[in-house]
Amino acid sequence: LAAGAIRRASGGLASRGAAGGFSGGLAGSSTGSFAGRPGRGATGHGAVIGCPPRLYKAPQSQDLASLPQPVLGWLQPTNGTLRYPLVTASSHPRSGFRLADLTWVDAANLLGDGLPVVIPVASASRAHGPHLPLGTDRLVAEVVAERLLASLPVLVAPCIAQGFQPAFMDYPGSQHLEANTFQALVAEVVEGYLRHGAERILLLNNGIATEAPLKLVAQDILHHHGVRIATADLPRLGSLGLGSRSASVDDLDERDTSLLLAIQPALVRLDRLQEMAADADDEEGMPPDGTDEPRLLSLRRPLRFTPEEREGGVLNRSGTTGNATAATAEKGEALLAAMVDEIVADLRLLWPDL
């Protein structure tokens, strides 16, 4: 399994490279205990480090101590007993919990026990070609979260289902938030859990474009609150499940289609996969993403795919990135298992008490 499935924000991102050599250079996790409780009395300059204030204005109230605190005094013992029997990690047979299934009383108790909070971040509505549902990213992230819940004592939070997806905003049904809106949304969700006592947080990111904004959010949380949240970028993980030693954007449609065939095969339009295979035969020599965009080695430019000719856009009529016809349910199950194993291994390095 490739090490370095999790990256953490510190003064800069951790620098230990992934042993498996993921392309894109995931920053690795570091061993050791979690770095402290939410900062008290910190004041901020109102912007993410490295990001101009005009692009992202951080929440105004940076001091957690100044935010409204939950009133939990009534949970204290009265005559030696609690008013309500509480769910605890030791009293429940499952390894983890879905936060949405708990009462706020039980959530308070489990957060107080120090259980890490896993927050899936995945778009619920983004184009994945003519054969996959718009909700593919969310479906995959939630299944990975469920498998983590079965393996570790964690709290799985509701998915943040809106994302920064500028490359696919022209495909009907695809939803896209501007970078500053997306960053503010994630930051406020994270700060809410910190306010309620969470000390360890994992962002389970299932997106490529969302990687950079989430790094800035993690840096901002560290700067203002002294909390080092962890991030797992799912598209970069589990490549051994495809028989490859590195993750590639060119594999995305094969990966996503394989994952959906393993998770929800009824949602995959197999008839359209066959049509796509025929189209690929007719367009021999086209790059794997279905566009004529040149492959640059040393330069980078923003992408905006379009289903029709549009100024500044890269024509991609199907909205696919990669060869979906190579997908199988077996590959999808292998991918899921590899992703979960990599994340579990890194979380146990990061937080040895799990």
Are the C-beta atoms of residues 31 and 15 closer than 8 Å to each other? no
- Of 193, 198, 204, residue with least CA distance to 146: 204
Please state, rounded to an integer, the average pLDDT across all residues of the chain. Answer: 75
Q: What is the pLDDT of residue 334?
A: 94
DSSP class per residue in 198-250: ---EEEEE--STTHHHHHHHHHHHHHHH----EEEEGGGS-GGGGT-SS--GG
Is the pLDDT assigned to residue 300 strictly greater than 70? yes
Question: Which of the listed CATH numbers 3.40.50.720, 3.40.50.300, 3.40.50.10310, 3.90.320.10 matches domain 35-67+95-281+304-354?
Answer: 3.40.50.10310
Which has the higher per-residue pLDDT, 23 or 206? Answer: 206
Are the C-beta atoms of residues 128 and 134 closer than 8 Å to each other? yes
Which has the higher per-residue pLDDT, 298 or 333? Answer: 333
Q: What is the pLDDT of residue 217?
A: 97
> Distance (Å, rounded) from C-alpha 39 to C-alpha 233?
26
What is the arithmetic mean of pLDDT over 168-188?
93
pTM above threshold 0.85: no
Partners of residue 13 on adjacent β-strands: 9
Tokens at 210, concatenated:
């969302």
> Distance (Å, rounded) from C-alpha 149 to C-alpha 354?
12
- In the block, tokens 């309620």 appear at 196
Q: What is the pLDDT of residue 30?
A: 36
β 230-233/155-156 pair status: unpaired
- In the block, tokens 């990690």 appear at 89
Which has the higher per-residue pLDDT, 330 or 92? Answer: 330
Are the C-beta atoms of residues 8 and 232 closer than 8 Å to each other? no
Domain ranges of the chain: 35-67+95-281+304-354
β 6-8/230-233 pair status: antiparallel
What is the arithmetic mean of pLDDT over 134-153?
95
- Of 62, 47, 173, 187, residue with least CA distance to 121: 187
Is the pLDDT assigned to residue 79 strictly greater than 60? no
Strands (DSSP E) contained in the chain are 6-8, 97-98, 117-121, 155-156, 201-205, 230-233, 305-306, 314-315
What is the arithmetic mean of pLDDT over 66-70?
45
Are the C-beta atoms of residues 255 and 326 closer than 8 Å to each other? no
- In the block, tokens 């970069």 appear at 236
In what helix (H) or strand (E) does residue 187 lie, and over which residues does it extend? helix 179-195
Task: Give SS3 for 275.
Answer: helix
Partners of residue 7 on adjacent β-strands: 231
